[in-house]
Amino acid sequence: MRYCVQPATAKDVAILALAMADEDAGDVEFDRDSEGEQRPLDHLLNAFLSSTEVWAAHDPKGQPCALWGVGPTSQDLEVGRFWLLTCEEVETMPSDLAALSTIVLPEMLTTYTRLESIVDAQNQRALSLLQGLGFTVEPPAFHESTGRQCHRVWIEADASSLVVPNRPMLLN
């Protein structure tokens, strides 16, 4: 399938969020309401608002099908906290998602010296994608804010480890 990758808008985030089940948004970290309940869609909105860059891939009908975002970590402004959200359509085509990621990640790596994230140990699809792109995947450890076993994943800005697979005809 062909895609158009461009900076994301709030409308892209809203459309993709509405297309997903509530429990799918914000797979790793959650905000909590006054009763301590998890609100993953609020987490998605907060991630979008706190990101310095958000990119969207649009299908031929103009619908967003993947979002990549990054913002500075609170500990080190040169390290970007990376996140990715996809719809089912793209998740079932991992080679397309990998190829699209190789367009977006180098852009993010011009702003940050390193990209890193926390990925739930049960999310094998995301771990395989990131490892295939050249991210270092650390052994799982308990992540306090989620109460789950998670992997810390990261890639350096020199991008010598960023694996760029053959890009099929994905872009217009």
Amino acid at position 130, single letter: L
pLDDT value at position 21? 54
Q: What is the pLDDT of residue 91?
A: 67
Contact 104, 68 (CB under 8 A): yes
Longest dimension (CA), the chain: 48
What pLDDT is attached to residue 151?
Answer: 96
What is the three-class DSSP state of 152? strand
Q: Using one digit for the tens of pLDDT, what is the confidence trace for 7-65?
A: 999 899 888 877 765 444 444 444 444 455 545 567 777 888 889 999 999 988 998 98
CA distance 151 to 119: 5
Q: Residue 62: left if φ>0, alpha if ψ -120 to 50, beta else—which one?
A: left
Does domain 4-156 correspond to CATH entry 3.30.470.10? no
**pLDDT for position 95:** 82
Mean per-residue pLDDT of the chain = 80
Question: What is the three-state SS of 57-109?
Answer: EECCCCCEEEEEEEEECCCCCCEEEEEEEECHHHHCCHHHHHHHHHHHHHHHC
Domain extent listing, the chain: 4-156
Residue 126 has pLDDT above 80, yes or no: yes
**How many percent of the chain have pLDDT more than 70?**
77
Q: Cβ(119)–Cβ(127) under 8 Å?
A: yes
Can you tell me the mean pLDDT for 63-91?
A: 86
pLDDT on residue 157: 85
pLDDT at 105 exceeding the cut of 70: yes
In the chain the first and final C-alpha atoms are separated, in Å, by: 10
The torsion region of residue 36 among left (phi > 0), alpha (psi -120 to 50) and beta comes to left
What's the token pair of residue 58?
A: 């649009």
